[in-house]
Chains A and B, each alone.
Chain A
């Protein structure tokens, strides 16, 4: 069974204090690894897709990296508006329009001014 484990569960940072969130996964035949951001009471918002080990993607203060067993979301000089829950998800297998996507529980990030 596909598994996604995120750590830490919660992270509190001072504004400007860089850190990383971890996502480790066990999946048969990884098709893609995704990072989403979720604000309280809202639906997850897509951030990145990573397809193969060694791949990196960047968006503003966020940078996602992928190895064969885990992914990191690096947050550089975070601002209070980066406060949210960050979800990691893996896609295993696709046939036609069917894609099995498994989500982790997420890391709740709080950035303090």
Chain B
């Protein structure tokens, strides 16, 4: 168990609809990453948040958006869904603050959730 929780595990919806995927990072982790994994494709980086702020964007479509809340959980919103959006969406977390200084530990390791499998019909 990585400590990262994603809901829902499975989601089936129709084209044109909108869905929200939720991620709770490991306790204390400041960074949340979203990745998309389609059949026979590698993990494609979508977006990263660090302590509530957007830090990096990858191949994220304009129809997709995300945010990280004060309690550090994150949501990925997918709208105007198309058949090609069917994929596994993974959330990963990393970076814990250290001690009284609050300085972040960055080992580069990512801890992934079990993923949300989205099927668009």
A is bound by B: yes
- Please report A residues at the B interface, Cβ cutoff 8 Å: 31-32, 34, 36, 41-46, 49, 87, 89, 91, 94, 96-106
A-binding residues in B (CB < 8 A): 2, 4, 30-31, 33, 35, 40-43, 45, 48, 50-51, 55-56, 88, 90, 92, 94-95, 104, 106-115, 117
Cβ A105 vs Cβ B41 within 8 A:
yes
A43-B2, A43-B4 given; name 5 further pairs at CB < 8 Å: A31-B108, A34-B108, A41-B115, A41-B117, A105-B42
Summarize A's interface: helix, strand, loop or mixed: strand
B90 touches A43 (CB 8 A): yes
Question: Chain B nearest CB: distance from A24 CB in Å?
Answer: 14
Verify B50–A44 contact, CB threshold 8 A.
no
Partner of B104, one of A32, A96, A104, A105: A96
Question: Shortest beta-carbon distance, B3 to chain A, in Å?
Answer: 11
CB <8 Å contact, B112 and A45: yes
- A100-B56 in contact (CB<8A): yes
Contact with A97, one of B42, B95, B111, B115 (Cβ below 8 angstroms):
B95
Instruction: State how many angstroms separate the Cβ of A104 from the closest Cβ of chain B.
Output: 6
CB distance from A106 to the nearest CB of B (A): 6
Rounded to whole angstroms, the CA-CA distance of A36 and B104 in the bound complex is 23
Are B114 and A101 interface neighbours, CB within 8 A? no
Residue of A nearest to B111 (CB): A46
In whole angstroms, how far apart are the Cα atoms of A44 and B32 in the complex?
15
- A84 CB to closest chain B CB (Å) equals 14
B42 touching A87, Cβ below 8 Å: yes
Is the beta-carbon distance between B108 and A99 smaller than 8 angstroms?
yes
Nearest-Cβ distance from residue A13 to partner chain B, whole angstroms: 21
* Contact of B43 with A103 in the complex, beta carbons under 8 Å: yes
11 contacts between A and B (CB under 8 A): A34-B108, A34-B110, A42-B115, A43-B113, A46-B110, A49-B108, A87-B42, A94-B108, A97-B50, A97-B51, A99-B108
In the complex, A101 Cα to B35 Cα: how many Å?
11
Q: In the assembled complex, how far is the CB of residue A67 from the closest CB belonging to chain B, in whole angstroms?
A: 19
Q: Is the CB of B2 within 8 A of A45?
A: yes
Question: With the chains together, A36 CA to B110 CA distance in Å?
Answer: 9
Do B109 and A49 touch (CB < 8 A)? yes
Residue of A nearest to B40 (CB): A105
